[in-house]
Amino acid sequence: MTRMLIIGPPGSGKGTQAERISERLGVIAISTGDIFRANVKGETPLGIEAKKYMDAGDFVPDSVTNKMVRDRLSEDDVENGFLLDGYPRTTAQVDYLDGILADGDEKLDVVLQLTADDEELVTRLLGRAQETGRTDDNEAVIRHRLDLYHGQTEAVVAKYADRGILTRVDGIGGIDEVTDRVMQAIKEAQSA
């Protein structure tokens, strides 16, 4: 069983790599961003609330995000493991996730951090915005999201590093090249 999360700045390839890890390890990938975007598209109450934060590049409040993750992790398809993408983003969310897992007598096995240079990320995200038309990918919002990542999420990374379960992987390069590095890093982390 593998319980893990993938973390990294916006545009580092988390979603792409999460899909590939999910396929190769046979675990469910759970993306909070995908869940938020589905709710926005469906104009659900959660989606309407989340959209105003997402369009500004801000984090959706913990109260909304935590409930959504708790509900998702209680579903049957995560019995054989899971890969969280986009959560936790704050140390308070780390504590909340610890509580969810402790309720099931579980813990995370590995935390995978994709790393990349900020200017490379801005270029990637502006390209993605042109391809997909995402309203939350303009330069001002992208730079704000990167500032949030550095200001808040790096504390999450430090917390997992202190626990000895953090593995860093260079997220720059071709998709297959990064996937090879990711899978090797997971293999090494699981055998440690």
CATH superfamily, with its number, for domain 2-191: P-loop containing nucleotide triphosphate hydrolases (3.40.50.300)
Residue 123 to residue 142: CA distance in whole angstroms: 10
Render pLDDT for 31-86 as a digit per residue (tens, 0 to 9): 988 888 888 889 988 788 888 888 887 878 888 888 888 888 888 999 889 999 98
**How many Cβ atoms from other residues are within 10 Å of residue 89's Cβ?**
20
Report the range of poorest mean pLDDT among 50-54, 102-106, 161-165, 186-190: 50-54
Domain definitions of the chain by residue range: 2-191
Residue ranges for the known binding site are 11-16, 32, 37, 58-60, 86-89, 93, 128, 134, 145, 173
Residue ranges for the known binding site for ATP are 11-16, 128, 173
Q: Which segments within the chain are labelled E, that is strand?
A: 2-7, 28-31, 81-85, 110-115, 166-170
Residue 6 near residue 17 (C-beta atoms within 8 A): yes
Instruction: Report pTM.
Output: 0.85
User: What's residue 148's pLDDT?
Assistant: 87
Could you tell me which residue, 129 or 136, shows the higher pLDDT? Answer: 129
Could you tell me which residue, 67 or 120, shows the higher pLDDT? Answer: 120
The Cα diameter of the chain in Å comes to 45
Render pLDDT for 167-186 as a digit per residue (tens, 0 to 9): 999 999 999 999 999 999 99
Q: What is the CA radius of gyration of the chain?
A: 16
- Residues with catalytic roles: 14, 89, 128, 134, 145
Residue 129 near residue 19 (C-beta atoms within 8 A): no
pLDDT band with cut points at 50, 70 and 90 for residue 87:
very high
